[in-house]
Amino acid sequence: MSAETQDLALLARESVRALPLYAPEAADDALDLSDSVNLWGTPPAALRAIADPTREHLSRYPSPRSDSLTPALLRYLRLDKTAGVRAVTGCGSDDVLDAAMRAFGAAGDRIAFSAPTFSMVPLFARLNGLEPAPIAFREHFDLDVDRLAATGAKITYLCAPNNPSGTGISRAAVEHVASVATGIVLLDEAYAEFAPESFADLVGRHERLVVVRTFSKAFGMAGLRIGYAAGAASVVGMIERARGPYKVNVLAERAALAALADTSDGLGWVREHARLAVEVRDRVATALTAMGFPPLPSAANFLCVPTVDAARLATRLRERGVLVRQFAGLPREPRPLVNAGGSALRVGIGPWPLMQRFLDAFAEACACE
Ligand SMILES: *Cc1c(COP(=O)(O)O)cnc(C)c1O
C-alpha cells in the first residue's frame, strides 16, 4: 500500500476506522450451520413471484417506502386494526436498526442492551456515534430491568428470542422495560416465528416500543435483504426519514408479499417449516445433552452450547466440513456461561439429515484428543 492511500484512510471517521469488517466464515462445500437462516429454503410462492423479472419493471424505481408491502406486514403482525401504528421496511432488519439508531441517537447518547446479544448492535451503535451500554443478563437469562433503566439510555435494544443465547424473555419483562424506559425501545423479534409467543401486540399499548422483524430467518429470504419494523406512527416516521427511500428492491417486495399470502406455499410453508425447525431443534438438543453438552433452552432455530472447548470444537468441526459460530469472551453471567468461561458454540438448525451429519461430526470432534 502506498503512503498516499494510507493517508486517505486516515481521513475516514475515527469510528469507522475502528470498526472490524464483518466477515463471517464461508466454505463452498461445507455444511454451514453458522448463521440461522432457513436451511429448508424459500417459500415456493416467493420464488414464483420473482421467477420472471422482466415483468417486474426492473428499469423503474420501487415504491420509496414499500407501499404495497406495509399493509400486509401490519396484517401479519395483527396490528392492522391498531390505531396509530405504522410499518417501515429496510434492506434487511439490520438497515432498520441502523436507521433507528441514526434517527434517535445523537453522538454520545447511550444504547442499552442485555449482553450477550446480536453482534451488529454494538457495531451499528459505534458507527452512529452511540455509546453501547451492555448490561449482563440475570440468572436464567432474565433481563436486569433496573440496570437497563438506570442507564438512562436514549435507545434500549431487546432481542427476543435472543441471539446468540437463543433464550426467550418474558412478556412481563418487555412490558416492564417499555414502561420504565425514557427513550425508545427496539424489540428485535428476528426469531419470533420459532418462539412460543410474540410481543408485537404490545406496540399498541406502549408508544415507545418498536418491534423489528425480518424475512431472513423463518421466511427463508436472507439473500433478498428485507426487514421491517412496526410501532407508533410518530416514532416509525422518524426511522423512515433516517432510512431514506428505495431501500427495498422490486423483487424483494414482490417475494415478501407472496410469502405473506395465506396460501400453503406462502405463509403456510413458512409456518410448517418453523414448526419443523422447532421439532428438529429439540431432537438435536436432546442428543447434545446426552453427549454431555446441554444447550441453553432455545426459543429460536438455533442452539447455543456453552463449552470451554468452543474454539477447539469449532476447528475440529470445520475440519469435518461443518461450520458453526464460535463465541468467546461472552459476559461471565449467567451461570452456564460462567462455567464455560464465556465460550459457546451456536448451531443453526435445518433438516434432520443435515443435523445427523452435524451430530456425527460433533461426536468425532469431541472424542479425539
Ligand atoms: C439474523 C438477525 C437479524 C436479521 O438481520 P437481516 O438484516 O434482516 O438479515 C436481526 N436481528 C437478529 C438478532 C438476528 O439474529
Distances 43 to 49, 100, 247, 269, 341 between C-alpha atoms, Å: 10, 29, 22, 6, 40
Q: Is the CB of 162 under 6 A from ligand 1?
A: no
- Residue 324 · residue 59 · CB < 8 Å: no
pLDDT at 3 over 60: no
Of 287, 330, 282, nearest to 306 (Cα)?
330
Over range 247-276, report the average pLDDT: 97
What mean pLDDT is predicted for residues 313-323? 96
pTM: 0.95
Residue 227 in contact with ligand 1 by CB distance below 6 A: yes
pLDDT digits 0-9 by tens, 207-254: 999 999 999 999 999 999 999 999 999 999 999 999 999 999 999 999
Binding site membership of 151 for ligand 1 (Cβ less than 6 Å): no
Strands 110-115 and 155-159 come out as parallel
Q: How remote is the CA of residue 192 from the centroid of ligand 1, in Å?
A: 11
Pocket flag, ligand 1, residue 79 (CB < 6 Å):
no
Distance CA 124, CA 133 (A): 13
User: Does residue 211 have its Cβ closer than 6 Å to ligand 1?
Assistant: no
159 touches ligand 1 (CB under 6 Å)? yes
Strands 31-32 and 322-323 turn out to be parallel
**Whether residue 214 has its Cβ less than 6 Å from ligand 1:** yes
Residue 312 above 80 pLDDT?
yes
Spacing, Cα 117 to ligand 1 middle (Å): 11
Distance of CA 96 from the midpoint of ligand 1 (Å): 10
Q: Which of 93, 117, 187 to mutate to test the pocket of ligand 1 (most atoms within 8 A of CB)?
A: 93
Instruction: Determine which helix (DSSP H) or strand (DSSP E) holds 289, and give its type and residue range.
Output: helix 267-290
User: Which ligand 1 atom minimizes the distance to the CA of 226?
Assistant: 8
Neighbours of 228 (CB within 10 A): 27
Q: Is the pLDDT of residue 7 over 90?
A: no
Mean pLDDT of the chain: 93
CA of 242 to the centre of ligand 1 (A): 19
Q: Which residue has the higher pLDDT, 26 or 116?
A: 116
Best mutation site among 97, 118, 159, 194 for ligand 1 pocket (most ligand atoms within 8 Å of CB): 118
pLDDT of 314 higher than 80: yes
Q: Residue 348 C-alpha to ligand 1 middle, in angstroms?
A: 14
pLDDT by residue (tens digit) across 123-172? Answer: 999 999 999 999 999 988 999 999 999 999 999 999 999 999 999 999 99
188 CA to centre of ligand 1 in angstroms: 8
160 touches ligand 1 (CB under 6 Å): no
Question: What per-residue confidence (pLDDT) applies to 189?
Answer: 98
Closest C-alpha among 142, 176, 145 to residue 160 = 142
Residue 263 confidence (pLDDT): 97
Write out pLDDT tens, residues 58-99.
Answer: 888 999 999 999 999 999 999 999 999 999 999 999 999 999
Q: What number does the ligand 1 atom closest to the CA of 222 have? A: 9
In this structure, the residue with its CA closest to atom 15 of ligand 1 is 163
Answer yes or no: are the C-beta atoms of 359 and 367 closer than 8 Å.
no
User: Predicted confidence band at 338 (pLDDT cuts at 50, 70, 90)?
Assistant: confident
Side-chain-side CA neighbours of 123 within 13 Å: the count stands at 11
Given the CA of residue 117, which atom of ligand 1 is nearest to it?
13
Q: Is 248 exposed, middle or buried (0-12, 13-18, 19+ CB in 10 A)?
A: buried
For ligand 1, atom 3, name the residue with the nearest CA. Answer: 190
> Measured in angstroms, how far is the CA atom of residue 224 from the centroid of ligand 1?
13
Residue 369: its pLDDT value, please? 47
Report the nearest atom of ligand 1 relative to the CA of 214: 8
| Residue 358 CB partners (closer than 8 Å, separation 6+) | 31, 33, 284, 317, 322, 324, 347
118 lines ligand 1 (CB under 6 A): yes
